[in-house]
Amino acid sequence: MYKSIEIPQLELKVKQPVGLFINNEFVKSSDGETIESINPSTNKRITSFYAASEEDVDSAVQAASAAYRKVWSKTSPADRNKLLYKLSTLIEREKTTLAALDAIDAGKPYHSNALQDIEQVLDLTRYFAGSADKYTHGEVIPLNDEKYAYTIKAPFGVVAQIVPWNYPFAMASWKMQGALAAGNCIIIKPADNTSLSLLYAAQLFKEAGFPPGVVNVLPGLGNVTGTALCKHPRISKISFTGSTAVGGKVLESSGQSNLKDVTLECGGKSPAVVFADCDLDKAVEWTASGIFYNSGQNCTANSRIYVQEAVYDDFLKRFRKHVSETWTFGSKFDVFDPECTVGPVVSETQFKRIHAMTNAEQCTDDDNPSEWVKTQTCEYPTESQSKGFFIPPTIFTNVKQSSSLMQNEIFGPVVVVAPFKEYDEAIELANDSDYGLASAVFTKNITTAHRFARDIQAGTCWINSSNDEDVTVPFGGYKMSGIGRELGAAGVETYLQTKAVHVNLE
């Protein structure tokens, strides 16, 4: 149930699990279906792995249900703490391999991106290890002399989790470690085109000592494995990260099955607002990182930048120069090259989609594409250089607020920069979106900064920075960007339900 993968840039040979991870064992899918994993840097096959069927989902649910009933529900918070901390030591031991798998599978620059993802996984695993006995207790409520009540924070039991392809192991860890700290058993589906690192990590949970059935990893297709998880009557909660359209289907499936509790982290079209009194060079650095890191494949990417008219031209000049010097493919179009800071987008499908969204011939009449000014800060690679899915950092100006470039999530290294006059206009433009995941504001005026944080309709607001999440701080969206919160105390509490107990002393 393993295949060998060689990564010559690191002189690394990986023994890669390719089976479904159910009940602490890697097994074949019931119908033998497999999925091929493609390296987006080269458009070459990496390997193939088994894809879970509806029958396999049911097998995993049975394993998780039995594990919860017989073992995990009786495991103390202190013991869950020890298991998660042991897991963190194993992740640290394997961080080179885990980062390398994400580099080849998701096209992440190894040095500037993939390794950083694993460092965050280490931080959050240790944080959630310490959370197992801190956010899981209830409270006593005195009612009168003869009666009191208390609450119990109870795990859901069996929860399902579906994660996207842009942060294969990191995003999975946001969900898995919090759910385990809360005392749940989990069944998690990685994205079908970036499943390798989570499959590799599955064996670390077993090595850490998690009992069989507590952690189950089911790679597969969304319309098969994902749908079966969403509709299964013995799953009590589902946590999904991905597109808003699919998030809506997850909610619908919950209503059609057993009204399972749902947490959603969906799309974004995050604004960054730059006021004239800010440190302009720092605003340039932060906003460039906020859109071009991870090739723009971030739900929180600040893909709309609004700059006050007084400094608009200066900002744009500095921004273009900084991006051309800093955010590049490197000379080798190789994600293991230390000079590579922009990798390919994840797939040919995503590559073609971004092309369609940024190509004037594909746009609607409302967009007025003839007025757009498009700047690419480096060139597409020639076929002799790379057959991968590299898209240059691209800057658009002269784009109307109603344009699809302004309103729709592109999920690639594409940004729109536009001017504004005063605060009221800036906040109106920033809030003119169906999404509300994140935002950023750049100013030295403390009143402007906190007024913006108050007025912006988004789950996160960065003041004088962008996209610098911390595992201790809750994360989630407003409007069509989602329901619920992850990370911080919320990352455990979202996997608990409250039971009230009334005690009569008479």
Q: What does the alpha-carbon distance between residue 126 and residue 265 come to, in Å, rounded to a whole number?
A: 23
Which parts of the chain sit beneath pLDDT 70? Answer: 360-367
Residue 64 pLDDT? 98
Residue 378 pLDDT? 87
For residue 326, give Cα distances in angstroms to 280, 389, 479. 17, 20, 34
Are 206 and 295 part of one and the same domain? Answer: no
Residue 383 pLDDT? 86
Are 235 and 297 part of one and the same domain? Answer: no
Query: From the candidates 265, 409, 486, 493, which is the catalytic residue?
Result: 265
The string of pLDDT tens digits covering residues 227-245 is: 999 999 999 999 999 999 9
CATH number for the domain including 202? 3.40.605.10
Residue 297 pLDDT? 97
Are 211 and 330 part of one and the same domain? Answer: no
Residue 368 pLDDT? 72
Residue 372 pLDDT? 86
Furthest-apart CA atoms within the chain: distance in Å? 85
The DSSP-derived string for 40-68 is TTTTEEEEEEE---HHHHHHHHHHHHHHH
Contact between residue 84 and residue 127 where contact means Cβ atoms under 8 Å apart: no
User: Is the full-model pTM beyond 0.75?
Assistant: yes
CATH number for the domain including 402? 3.40.309.10
* Residue-number span of the structural domain to which 106 is assigned: 52-266+482-501
Q: What does the alpha-carbon distance between residue 435 and residue 77 come to, in Å, rounded to a whole number?
A: 37
Residue 506 pLDDT? 86
Is 2 a member of any domain?
no
Residue 379 pLDDT? 87
Are 183 and 310 part of one and the same domain? Answer: no
Are 187 and 316 part of one and the same domain? Answer: no
Residue 331 pLDDT? 87
Catalytic residue status for 265: yes
Are 396 and 358 part of one and the same domain? Answer: yes
Residue 119 pLDDT? 98
Nearest of 434, 464, 430, 460 to residue 446 by alpha carbon: 464
The total number of structural domains in the chain stands at 2
Residue 12 has phi, psi (to 5 degrees) of -120, 135
Contact between residue 20 and residue 217 where contact means Cβ atoms under 8 Å apart: yes
Residue 35 has phi, psi (to 5 degrees) of -130, 140
Are 86 and 192 part of one and the same domain? Answer: yes
- Of the chain, the end-to-end C-alpha distance in Å amounts to 62
Q: What does the alpha-carbon distance between residue 312 and residue 406 come to, in Å, rounded to a whole number?
A: 18
